[in-house]
Amino acid sequence: MKSKIYSVMTLTLASLIANAADEEPNNYSFSEALQNGETTISTRTFYFNRSFDKPETDDAEALTIGGIMKYESANFSNTKLGFAYYGSHRLFDITNRDQGGGTSILQSDGEDIAFLGEAYIDVNAEGHQLQIGRQRLSTPLMGDHDIRLLPSSYEAAIYRYKGLKDTTLEAGYVSRYSGFTSKLSSFDEQTAKWGTDGLVYIFAETDLASIALRGQFVTTREDSGTFKNYKYADVKVPIGIGQESYIKGQYGGTGYEVGDSSKMFGVKAGTSIGPLDIAVLYNKIKDNKFKTVEAAPMYTDWQQGYANYEPSDAKGVQLIYHPAENASIKLGFVDIESEEGDTFNTDTFTETYLDAKYKINEVSKLRVRYSIKDQDDNSDKEDRNDFRIIYYYNF
């Protein structure tokens, strides 16, 4: 079945290239497009430390350097080729590999990460785009989830239509992906979650009179034994009170082969007062665990994003202070109260979060993140603190 899908995509790709050739000619031949391609290098030096309150639980710590080295060709008949190396390598011997395995900036066994993270052909013609191969995605339920040193990447065939004003329509087939934060140096089939035939999805976003709307539906192509589908929609409405005021709403859910489907609801309201952005947030999950493919769309999820959320009520507040044009300091607090159940591990906690960013110049910036996760006395989980320092340099 996978071969049939890729065959259809290949025929569509050939048709787009042929149509592109009939348009105003591109001056580059294939060989010239390769010679005039662009190479970019985005590096990160990343220190991560996760400490637990129980002495029998080992802390996680790593210091690595890595990032993405990418080559993308120039256009030939409105077609581009792209390739990207993904890597994260332990820096000196300051931290040991045994502790590095729990940080998700090294592999699970503490070894370095190194693999071909992107390899695609990308065709654009008259508002139509078809991209086939290893690539990053950016949708509410399936995104690159760039919260560690490396983003997640997918083996997929994606079609996008951008011929409508302020609107994008997208449909895709995904067969494999590089896993959470690309920490395994491989693309693995998610047969236990997706079945053997992968996932298909539709996604749309648009702006209607300053109202932003998004929606996505993802389904397995055969019975996986666990999930049937994932769904999500959100809206952002500006409010003519104060400076840049708004209200957001979101709805999501996970359908299961066995058991109740989950439902997720959320609301967020915010405004700006001079250099200060203020927002209050609320999320509720009911009936079953809310999961996504690889994303963290919930308003009350600061930085975990594991897409495995128990039935719960969550409320929080967020403050972002901009002391200068090139700097920001985000403070957040969220209170999560989970329901108890036979199939749930009670995850009731508060989390306090700091995220400070400083843009040094046009090619480099510094980021410091710190969170304190304080579990309830009756929780099955344990307290932990996360500390991260990331230095970004692009050239």
What angle (nearest 5°) sits at the alpha carbon of residue 267, between those of residues 262 and 273?
155
Any domain includes 4: yes
Band the pLDDT of 338: cuts 50, 70, 90: confident
Residues 6+ apart with CB under 8 A from 54: 382
Please list the alpha-helical segments (H only) found in the chain. Answer: 2-22, 30-35, 97-100, 191-194
pTM above 0.85, yes or no: yes
Any domain includes 239: no
pLDDT at 176: 94
- What residue numbers bound the domain in which 120 lies? 1-188
* Highest-pLDDT range among 26-35, 38-47, 293-302, 331-340: 38-47
Any domain includes 297: no
Place of tokens 């290949």: 10
CATH for 75:
2.40.160.10
Any domain includes 263: no
Any domain includes 59: yes
Contact 349, 333 (CB under 8 A): no
Would the pLDDT of 227 be above 90? no
Contact 99, 84 (CB under 8 A): no
Would the pLDDT of 17 be above 60? no
Which of 174-183, 224-233, 257-266 shows the lowest mean pLDDT across its residues? 224-233
| Residues 20-42 pLDDT 10s | 555 545 668 999 999 999 999 99
Who has greater pLDDT, 344 or 287? 287
Q: Compute CA 16 distance to the chain's CA centroid, rounded to the nearest angstrom.
A: 29
Any domain includes 20: yes
Would the pLDDT of 394 be above 90? yes
pLDDT at 9: 57
Any domain includes 61: yes
pLDDT at 303: 53
pLDDT at 342: 60
Question: Considering its fold, how many domains does the chain have in total?
Answer: 1
| Residues 153-204 pLDDT 10s | 999 999 999 999 999 999 999 999 999 999 989 898 888 888 889 999 999 9
Dihedral over Cα of 86, 91, 93, 99: its sign: negative
Annotate 338-373 with b (16+ C-beta within 10 A) or e (fewer): beeeeeeebbbbebbbebbbebeeeeebebebebbb
Would the pLDDT of 305 be above 50? no
For all residues of the chain together, what is the average pLDDT? 90
pLDDT at 317: 97
Place of tokens 């992107």: 118
Residue 364 CA: distances (Å) to CA of 42, 47, 145, 330: 10, 16, 21, 19
Place of tokens 């050739």: 21
| Residues 86-103 pLDDT 10s | 999 999 888 889 899 999
Would the pLDDT of 298 be above 80? yes
Counting residues of the chain whose pLDDT is more than 70, the rounded percentage is 90
Q: Compute CA 369 distance to the chain's CA centroid, rounded to the nearest angstrom.
A: 18
pLDDT at 4: 60
Contact 189, 174 (CB under 8 A): no
Residue range 341-352: mean pLDDT, rounded = 76
Secondary structure (DSSP) of 63-117? EEEEEEEEEEPPPBTTEEEEEEEEEEEE-TTSS-HHHHTTSSSS-TTS--EEEEE
Any domain includes 57: yes
Residue range 302-319: mean pLDDT, rounded = 78
Contact 300, 317 (CB under 8 A): no
